[in-house]
Structure 1
Amino acid sequence: MSDFPHVRARFARAVDRYDALADVQRQVGAALLAGLPATAVRGRVLDGGCGTGHGLELLSRRWPGIDLVALDFAYPMVARARRRGEQGSRRGAAAGLCADLQALPLADGCLDGLWSNLALQWCDPARFTAEAARVLRPGGWLAVGTLGPGTFVELRQSFATVDRYRHTIPFLEPDALGDICRRAGFSVVTLQRRTRVLHYADLGSLLAAVRELGASRVTGADRRPGLMGRTAWKSFVERYESLRTAEGLPLSYDTVCLHALRIAERMPR
């Protein structure tokens, strides 16, 4: 996970504000749930990157009898999620794990399902899918909601008027995600993409949403080495304000939903 300690700390601090910033997560969660079977599901299901527990709540209400496990790399998120997951469950609070999605502290083949909504983008996709394939039994399902390269296009274009540095983390093409899943040992059932646009009253709240969700944590040579000067900042603000509509300042999220099944043997590379 890129810049892991800093991202972990940011998510831990954001626990009380996270739900207010999670409109897109809720929309993608609904799309992920719609792609899962409506019939009864049994066994153990992991919510990987559970945040404050929106996914656990959805899953426990759809299938009240399943054994849920909440996993996040920020402990305050896990604690909040476990309490929230009780709302629809007949089994009480979900088990909780504070761990990295790329190194799951779970036995091989111990899961029947793995749900991960807007967490994959913080990981190495190949490491994540390899771990998912390891812990899922053959026939187990994987449901992943993530973000594609069209995410924050307005922000990138506005920054491009003042410098050539990267101001947000990179996002994976959906077809590349599908290929990575197949190589890890999955049969991809559906791979859907949809642009969702949120609007913000002012630039401060828009940038706060990006920061609190961890998306501005850029590392490496592409990162701006220092603060932006006053003239450059003014140009950036003017460029973004030119995009304002009656609804506010737009910010696009290129959302991707993948549903896949763990096959018995990995596909040849």
Structure 2
Amino acid sequence: MSETAIDKQRVADSFSRAAATYDQAAAFQRSAGSNLLARIPAQLQAHEIVDLGAGTGYFTRALTQRFAVAAAGLDLAEGMLRFARQCNGSEHALLDRQPRWVVADAEALPLRPASQDLIFSSLALQWCPDLARAIAEARQALRPGGCLAFNTLVEGTLFELQRAWQSVDAFVHVNRFMPSDELRQILAASGFSHWRCDLETHVLRYGQLGELTRELKALGAHNINQGRPGGLTGRARLRALTQAYEAFRQPEGLPATYQVAQILMFKES
């Protein structure tokens, strides 16, 4: 099995385990996704819609309601989709049009060429080992004039946690994210007729470091990079990490910064 396949399985397993706790810890994720949804032009006519990396289905349902069509929720994490189906069958049972749920890999989409009007993906494609391939798959699935709307985390995300860990040991404890310049190069080479990439900074505040680490665990956003430490983290290292992170404390609390690229791409008509 390749390293890429191992990483994808690790991502899928991590998010599947977090399905039941994800929504309670996903305030930032919903804010970033709502900002992306608001960027989609009001005049866009979409009859076939995919939510790629649907997770628990929050934005799959939002897309279904906005466009009055049954969106399809695709995700690599089968556990997330099981939770989405259960949620859709109870809390959202009154929807006129029910979303569809499909286990799928963004780098090998089970979609017919030129079959989709809108592919929406919020904070999912940063987990793809080959972002360019995922974008190419989306472009192939879009009809002429179709839109790929996605956001992704870029370099600078959780830099406070990264720097605090660097003062403790040489392991990789925080997921690495693509520099924004590299991202723009991939977008420019994608073959889309036109695109736009805007950067947003979100700063979350916490009273104690443990609140942040528990939230990351609840979200399933574990460290998947090579060079990560094995086994449990000892108490002495955790104390050292906590002390190092305290250097970032502000009157409002301990900051955790997320850098989000909000992207709209349109296929040639």
Q: Normalization by structure 1: what TM-score?
A: 0.87
Amino acid at match of 2:13: A
Write the mapping of 1:20-31 to structure 2, written as runs, cut at 5 A: 20-31=24-35
Distance across 2 between alignment mates of 1:134 and 1:181 = 15
Task: Check whether the contact 1:149–1:171 (CA below 8 A) recurs between aligned residues.
Answer: yes
Write the mapping of 1:235-254 to structure 2, written as runs, cut at 5 A: 235-254=240-259
How high is the sequence identity, in percent, across the aligned residues?
Answer: 37
Cα distance per residue 1:204-251 (max 9 Å; x no partner):
22112223434332332x323555454333221111133333433221
Q: 2:79 aligns with which of 76, 80, 83?
A: 76
Write the mapping of 1:115-264 to structure 2, written as runs, cut at 5 A: 115-123=120-128, 124-220=130-226, 222-225=227-230, 227-263=232-268
SS in 2 for 1:178: helix
Task: Check whether the contact 1:193–1:256 (CA below 8 A) recurs between aligned residues.
Answer: yes
Write the mapping of 1:32-111 to structure 2, written as runs, cut at 5 A: 32-39=36-43, 41-64=45-68, 66-82=69-85, 83-84=87-88, 90=96, 92-111=97-116
Which residue matches 2:8? 4
What's the Cα RMSD here?
A: 2.3
Task: Rate the CA distance shift 1:224–1:80 in 2: closer, same or farther, 3 A.
Answer: closer
Question: How many residues are aligned here?
Answer: 261
Gaps of 5+ in 1: 265-269
Task: Check whether the contact 1:113–1:141 (CA below 8 A) recurs between aligned residues.
Answer: yes
Task: Check whether the contact 1:57–1:87 (CA below 8 A) recurs between aligned residues.
Answer: no
Distance across 2 between alignment mates of 1:133 and 1:108 = 9
**C-alpha displacement at 1:63, in angstroms?**
1.6
Q: Normalization by structure 2: what TM-score?
A: 0.87
Cα distance per residue 1:135-157 (max 9 Å; x no partner):
11221100011111110011011
Q: Greater helix share, 1 or 2?
A: 2
Which residue matches 2:119? 114
**C-alpha displacement at 1:40, in angstroms?**
5.6
Which deviates more, 69-78 or 200-209? 200-209
Cα distance per residue 1:75-128 (max 9 Å; x no partner):
2322443554957854x2112101111111111111111000000110021121
Distance across 2 between alignment mates of 1:136 and 1:234 = 50
